[in-house]
Structures are given as structure tokens and as C-alpha cells.
Amino acid sequence: MRRNYFLFVLLLLLCCNAEAKRKHYKSLSILQPSHQSLLLQNETINKMGLERIGDERRLSYLVETERLVALPITDAVKIAPSLPSNRRYALPLVTSFLGKLASEYYAEFHQPLMVDSAVRPMTVQKKLRRRNASAAPVQGETASSHMAGCTIDLSRRMTKRQTRWIEWRLAYYVLQQSVLVEEERHCFHIMVTKEIE
């Protein structure tokens, strides 16, 4: 309990100070995308010993062997219709995190969280890079964490109050070192690094 209180106070100090410096609210500074965040995501993938999935065949194998599991579909979690069925998977620790976060969100707002993206093999990331120059590269120290099955994107189609709630909740988990988050224009890019407490 004492640790949670300390984390909350630290969160307030970090975020409120940064927020007070801005005229217009954008996002909590702890969630803003950065080159450093991409480096940290890839460093963490390496430390976790995660595989970067090469192609659809390897993805299918990881699903068959249950190293990747289906995203939960409940009243609290919806999957974007545009997300192909074979890419609606992630590591078990990711689906566990999603289930908890979505349950908390649903209890507060009686609406589901929408997952826009999950696992993405290298072959898909290459195609995405051709269409979207700002997409993360396939290789290197800033490569997309989606290729390791440890990342989901949550839609930002929500009210300001809902956005603020989810930002504060995600910042709390960042301070617990359970997730790495980038609040992008259309989504919350969430890489889960360990089981949440």
C-alpha cells in the first residue's frame, strides 16, 4: 500500500508539473512518443528474450503452440473489424493486462476499449512501412515492438474524460514498470513488460 501511495505521489509530481507548463492539454509527458522510448522498447524485448516474428507461418506456429493467445473479446474489450483475425493475438501477459485495464475502464464508463492492432510479423511491418513512412522500422534499435507479440494499440476514439482517465491509469502502470506506453495521434501504443501487480 505504501509503495502504491509513493508511486501515485511521484506520478502527480511528474505529470502535473509538465502539464502546468502547457497552454493546451496534449498528453502526460510520461506517455509522449520519443526516440528514447523506441530504444527502451527494443532493449526490453532483448532482455525479455522475445522473438521477433518473421512471417505468417511462424505466427501460426506460435498461436498453435499457445505462446501467443487470442485477445479477449468481452463486454469490456472489442477488436477493430479492420484487424485481421490471424493478428488478434499477443503474449499471455499482454492479454492479462488488457483484460484488467478494460475491466477497470468498463466499470468506470460502461463502454469497451477497442484494440486496433496487436501482433504484427515482419512481413506485415514491411508492407506498413511502404504505406506509412512514420511506421517503425522492421529491424534495428527502433524496430516495432508489435513484431514480438508484446504490444497492442488501443483506439483513442473516446471523450476527453475517458482519455484523461486512461492516461492516468497507464501512467500508473508505467511507474510500476509493467508497461511502456506511447500516446500516438490515433492510439495508445502499449508494450507490456511484466505481469501487473
Q: Would you list the DSSP string of 39-94?
A: HHHHHHHHHHTPPPP-SHHHHHHHHHTTSSEEPP-SSSEEE-TTS-GGG-EE-HHH
According to DSSP, the residues that pair with 180 across neighbouring strands are 191
In one-letter notation, the amino acid at residue 111 is Q
Q: Evaluate whether 158 touches 170 at the Cβ level (below 8 Å).
A: no
Q: Evaluate whether 156 touches 181 at the Cβ level (below 8 Å).
A: no
Shortest CA distance to 105 belongs to which of 175, 173, 13, 41?
A: 173
In one-letter notation, the amino acid at residue 29 is S
Which whole number is the average pLDDT over 160-172? 96
The whole model's pTM is what?
0.85
Per the rule left: phi > 0, alpha: psi between -120 and 50, beta: everything else, 150 is alpha
> How would residue 3 be classed by pLDDT, with cut points 50, 70 and 90?
low
Please determine, for residue 178, whether its predicted confidence score (pLDDT) is greater than 70: yes
- Residue 44 is predicted with a pLDDT of 96
Which whole number is the average pLDDT over 29-43? 84
Please determine, for residue 11, whether its predicted confidence score (pLDDT) is greater than 60: no
Please determine, for residue 27, whether its predicted confidence score (pLDDT) is greater than 60: no
- Residue 129 is predicted with a pLDDT of 86
Instruction: Look at 109 and 4; give whichever has higher pLDDT.
Output: 109
DSSP string over 151-183: EEEEE--S-HHHHHHHHHHHHHHHHTTSEEEEE
Distances (CA, A) of 12 to 32, 35, 84, 125, 188: 16, 24, 39, 36, 20
Domain boundaries, the chain: 30-192
Taking domain 30-192, whether its CATH number is 3.30.420 is answered by no
- Residue 17 is predicted with a pLDDT of 43
Highest mean pLDDT among 17-26, 103-112, 133-142: 103-112
Which whole number is the average pLDDT over 107-127? 96
C-alpha cell at 194: 511484466
Please determine, for residue 190, whether its predicted confidence score (pLDDT) is greater than 90: yes
Shortest CA distance to 69 belongs to which of 196, 192, 175, 184?
A: 192
Please determine, for residue 102, whether its predicted confidence score (pLDDT) is greater than 90: yes
Which whole number is the average pLDDT over 158-184? 95
Which whole number is the average pLDDT over 102-113? 98
CA-CA distance, 37 to 56, in Å (whole number)? 27
C-alpha cell at 54: 518473421
Q: Among 8-12, 31-35, 146-150, which stretch is predicted with the lowest mean pLDDT?
A: 8-12
